[in-house]
Amino acid sequence: MSTTEDEYAKYGYGRGQRIGFGQKPAILVIDFQKAFVDPEYPTGGRPLILSAVKATAGLLREARRRGIPVIQTVVGCSESKRDNPHWKVAICHELILGSDGCQVVEELRDPSDVVLPKRVPSIFFGTPLATTLVRQGVDTTIVTGCNTSGCIRATVIDSFSYGFRTIVPAECVGDMEEAPHWANLTDVDRRYADVIPLSEVMDYINPLQYAA
């Protein structure tokens, strides 16, 4: 992801730097749930997201074979309105955790994955994710899912803030729309994360092997 030459680049934001991979990765899969993927849902069937699901399926297959932890999340609401944050998104009030729209899509599911449901944008907020990562000695998160301009952005910020090396394989994240997708990738690439081609992530995980 090359950052456009702008004020930010001038002042040393992200120019050519790389954070780089660490010793032990985990794959985070954000909100690849029926409501955002399956074309039967009004918010589903969007091209960037469908293609990100496909790319992520390949990544997860390799990751699981190598014993790399895969942690998924879905977003939704508690039935009790009083428990949810002040979403301005109609769909978030309709998506009740546990309902069909909050199921991980079939092509990405695996019994070995951990699924941590959430009611907020970031998979870190209000979930035991930090514990799971510390417990397994993870120092690098590979962030996939949707929407780039929503829950991906929030997850990248938190992953960075906890001190993890944060990597976004560009093909594995998607958004309902092109413009916010690219704008958010630019924002995070110049500050918090390496936005790189999926092939580089594959090369990195290729030689890794962990006990299940």
User: Does residue 19 touch a copy of itself according to CB under 8 A?
Assistant: yes
- Token pair listed for 14: 């992200």
Nearer residue to a copy of itself within complex by CB, 55 or 114? 114
**DSSP codes, 93-119:** HH-BTTSGGGSBPGGG--TTSEE--BS
Active-site hit among 77, 102, 146, 151? 151
Give the Cβ contact number of residue 89 at 10 Å: 11
Name which of residues 145 to 184 contact a copy of itself (CB under 8 A). Answer: 149-150, 153-154, 157-158, 160-166, 176-177, 179-180, 183-184
Q: Which is nearer to a copy of itself, 121 or 169 (CB)?
A: 121
Q: Does residue 151 have an active-site annotation?
A: yes
- Residue 168 CA to residue 172 CA, distance in Å, equals 8
Q: Return d(Cα 193, Cα 182) in angstroms, integer.
A: 14
Q: Does 119 bind a copy of itself (CB under 8 A)?
A: yes
Q: How far is the CB of 199 from a copy of itself (least distance, A)?
A: 21
Q: How many CB atoms lie within 10 A of CB 103?
A: 15
- Count interface residues toward a copy of itself (CB under 8 A): 74
Site for a copy of itself (CB under 8 A): which residue of 98, 100, 110, 126? 126
Catalytic residues: 151
